[in-house]
Amino acid sequence: ERRQLHRLRREPSRTVDGVDIRLYANAETREDVAEAHALGAAGVGLYRTEFLFLQRDELPSEEEQFVAYRDLVLGMTGRIATIRTLDIGADKADGSGLALPYEPNPALGVRGVRLALRRREVFTSQLRAILRASGYGPIRILLPMVARREELLAARRLVRTVATRLRREGHAVADGIPLGAMIEVPAAAIALPAIIDLVDFVSIGTNDLVQYLLAADRGNDALADLHSPLHPAVLQLLHQVITTARTHGRPAAVCGEMAGDALFTPLLLALGLEEFSLHPGNLLEVRRAIRAQELAALRTAAPALLRARDQAGIERWLAAVAAA
């Protein structure tokens, strides 16, 4: 079993009917990055930068961040590295140099791009580090917790300003670095057509999207059954986001835990997903699941999936696909 999986390291993530699906890795540590590379990941689809800010009393310097981002880029040897800007809020700021005030509802508070835009000095220093790393290989910038157009306009303006200043200082900064948005706030998912012109790609954060859509805390064990992507609203919204992105020629990935669970692979393929970003430890299992599927048949079965009315109905669809 393990050996069989191991053999898939050099195989393409291609469906039975010959469609190539891109598998990116969610990776932060040097080990993750090395594994992603060894398993033939298309790149890093989600590099969470929070670890640089947590469990310490001072903010990381631009230089420290630059070294981390540059090493990521170099580790991927020419494959794309998607660096997500800081996604910290009062829920995980413990011990960080950010000195965030207490919030009663941190999941609904000043986190992600909201924090970045309110703490310009922190955001600017991170963007400087990221843009400097772009001189060493292909990168993309991903903004977390985007809810509205104004945030994207402000972030784009700041990226432009920082790039201009860096070039003036003599740093090499790549041209046309793609800027993307995490789609994890329901408002951004529903009104995606209103913001899609401002992003080059989207990455669907199902961990938070499910949390906010179902009003179910992702960390509350008592609600683990409710915090599930197997809800008709989640599937319909995923389908809508994927379809909107495709219509506008923007690549769309799912980077939440859901993408790394091979049980859900046929479902995501049926909804039109062509890019996954997942922990490297799950990559080969998902690749195997992709290689077992005929995409045309899944697309034909998609309407039935979208008609399911409850979790049991969605599970019956999955079971029928597995048996086919």
Nearer of residues 213 and 255 to ligand PEP, judged by Cβ:
255
Q: How far apart are CA 193 and CA 16, in angstroms?
A: 32
Find the radius of gyration of the CA atoms of the chain: 20
* φ and ψ at residue 143, rounded to 5 degrees: -100, 125
41 φ/ψ sector (left φ>0, alpha ψ -120 to 50, else beta): beta
Residues between 230 and 259 with contacts to ligand PEP, criterion CB under 6 A: 255-256
Chain-centroid distance of CA 207 in Å reads 10
244 contact, one of Mg ion, ligand PEP, none, CB 5-8 Å limit per kind: none
Which of 208, 255, 287, 314 is in the footprint of Mg ion by CB under 5 A? 208
Binding pattern for the stretch 72-101 against ligand PEP, x by CB under 6 A and - elsewhere: ---------------x--------------
Residue 256 touches which of ligand PEP, Mg ion, none (CB < 5 to 8 A by kind)? ligand PEP
257-273 as b/e, with b when 16 or more CB fall inside 10 Å? bbbbbbebbbbbbbbbb
Residue placing its CB nearer to ligand PEP in the complex, 213 or 270: 213
| 228 counts as binding ligand PEP under rule CB under 6 A | no
The DSSP line for 164-205 is HHHHHTT----SS--EEEEE-SHHHHHTGGGTGGG-SEEEE-
Nearer to ligand PEP, 8 or 46 (CB): 46
Q: Which range in 189-197, 203-211, 229-237, 294-302 contacts ligand PEP by CB under 6 A?
A: 203-211
Closest approach of ligand PEP to the CB of residue 291, in Å: 25
Of 33 and 234, which has the nearer Cβ to ligand PEP? 234
Residue given tokens 């899944």 in the structure block? 298
Q: CB 279 → ligand PEP: shortest distance, Å? A: 11
Task: Tell me the sheet residues that pair with 142.
Answer: 84, 180
Residue with Cβ nearer ligand PEP (205 or 272)? 205
44 binds, among Mg ion, ligand PEP, none (CB under 5 to 8 A by kind): none
Give kind and range of the element (H or E) at residue 275.
strand 275-278
Query: Which stretches of the chain are DSSP H helices?
Result: 2-7, 30-38, 62-75, 113-118, 120-133, 149-168, 186-190, 206-214, 232-247, 265-270, 280-291, 295-307, 311-323
Identified binder of Mg ion from the candidate list 43, 180, 205, 266, rule CB under 5 A: 205
Regarding 134 and contact with ligand PEP (CB under 6 A), the answer is no
Residue 253 Cβ vs ligand PEP, minimum distance, rounded to whole Å: 10
Q: Which helix or strand (DSSP H or E) is residue 28 part of? A: none
Residue 179, phi then psi, degrees to nearest 5: -115, 125
> How far is Cα 134 from Cα 35, in angstroms, rounded to an integer?
22
Q: Which is nearer to ligand PEP, 163 or 260 (CB)?
A: 260
The yes or no reply on residue 48 touching ligand PEP (CB under 6 A) is: yes
**Closest CB 61 distance from ligand PEP, rounded Å:** 23
Only one of the segments 10-18, 130-138, 200-208, 315-323 lies at the binding site for ligand PEP (rule: CB under 6 A); that segment is: 200-208
Question: Would you give the end-to-end CA distance of the chain in angstroms?
Answer: 22
Q: What is the closest distance, in whole angstroms, from the C-beta atom of residue 204 to ligand PEP in the complex? A: 7
What is the binding site for Mg ion (CB under 5 A)?
Answer: 184, 205, 208
What is the binding site for ligand PEP (CB under 6 A)?
Answer: 48, 87, 184, 205-208, 255-256
